[in-house]
Amino acid sequence: MGMFDTVHYKCPGCGRMIEEQTKAGDCRMNNYHEGSVPAEIAASEIGSKVDCGCGCTLRVHSSAPVARVKLYLVVDGPEVTESDEVEWD
C-alpha cells in the first residue's frame, strides 16, 4: 500500500465524519480537516464526488479560489539567489 494524505469532511446531511484519501501533496500520511487543506490537495479535491454512508452523494467545493503560486526555474549546481530569478513583463 502506498503513501497518501487524508482529508476529513463532515457530511452536511447527517454530520458523520468522512475520510477521503488523496495522492496529491506530500503523501506523508498527513491528516487535514476540510477547513484547512494545502492548496495542492485542495486543487485535486475540488469537484470530486464523496459518498456518505447515510445515502448522501456530495461534491467538494471551495469557498475561495485555490491560490496561485509563483513558479520559477533554478539552475542545478551553484547556489542561486532570488536576484537571479527571471522577471516576466
| Nearest residue to 4 (alpha-carbon basis) of 35, 45, 36 | 45
**pTM, full prediction:** 0.71
**Length of the chain as a residue count:** 89
Q: What is the pLDDT of residue 65?
A: 76
**58 DSSP β-pair partners:** 50
Read off the DSSP letter of residue 43.
Answer: H
At residue 65, φ and ψ (nearest 5 deg) are: -65, 145
Domain positions in the chain are 5-64
Q: Looking at residue 2, what is its pLDDT?
A: 87
In tens, the pLDDT along 5-21 reads 999 999 998 999 999 99
- Going by the DSSP 8-state scheme, the letter that residue 68 receives in this structure is P
Q: Write out pLDDT tens, residues 19-59.
A: 999 999 889 999 999 988 988 999 899 889 988 888 888 99
Q: What is the pLDDT of residue 33?
A: 92
